[in-house]
Structure 1
Amino acid sequence: MAGLRSETPSPESITLHGASRVLEVGFSDGSAYRIPFELMRVYSPSAEVQGHGPGQEVLQTGKRNVDVLELEPVGNYGVKPVFSDGHDSGIFSWDYLYYLGSQQAQLWQEYERRLQEAGADRDAAMPAKPAPSCGH
């Protein structure tokens, strides 16, 4: 089983390249992808990034130089990266890594479009989260 969907090729190799900031994944169908850490971070499958439904995505900025400090296996279906900015709640199934690798060009275009629409810069720091209210 490759991931969550049986039609996804199985991963045969996975290598972190710290200097070039890419995750290289080779799949059983012969494809291999070099997925930039930044792309992984801005498209993290976590609720913190994706929200809890359509239209709730949180635009990520300032992630160009993010590193992956650790890559923890999750069962037989994926990995959980620990990013240098402290983000560690996204589980990347083999399906999702295959998607990120195979759709990289379109995903970068979408990210750049979203940045432009928001008037945001790819390298700008993330806006601070509002402090939780006490309900008083």
Structure 2
Amino acid sequence: MSKPVILCVDDEQTILKSLKAQIKGYFGDTYNYEVAENADDALELVEELVEENVKIVIVVSDWLMPGMKGDELLIEIHKKFPNIVTVMLTGQADKTAVERAYELANLHGCLRKPWSDEDLLSLLKSALAMT
């Protein structure tokens, strides 16, 4: 049986590397960590993992990305896979987009960039308690 997955989505490579390193540094080998650079890749990856019976526990997504915005991505994921916990990480999301994500994607939480290690890990721990 494969380990559950935490998926991080951001169009900036440096953010993805930092996020993955922080999360893996804390949770270690308990989870597999996947990344996607845009919403389309993220949706494709989620579909593939679900088809392979791999449990995705959390999707952490940036808001401002080319193409589909993060709130739209998280709403789409929640519609198809309501058991996946959604988290938004953003420096630029407007209040309306965040409110939409809370309402339509059952958003667990939203962190502003730059985030602190403590805030990120606290949010993820509370999200994992829901899985």
How would you bin the TM-score normalised by the shorter chain? Answer: under 0.3
Report which of the two has the higher share of helix. Answer: 2
Q: What is the TM-score of this pair, normalised by structure 2? A: 0.27
Q: What is the TM-score of this pair, normalised by structure 1? A: 0.27
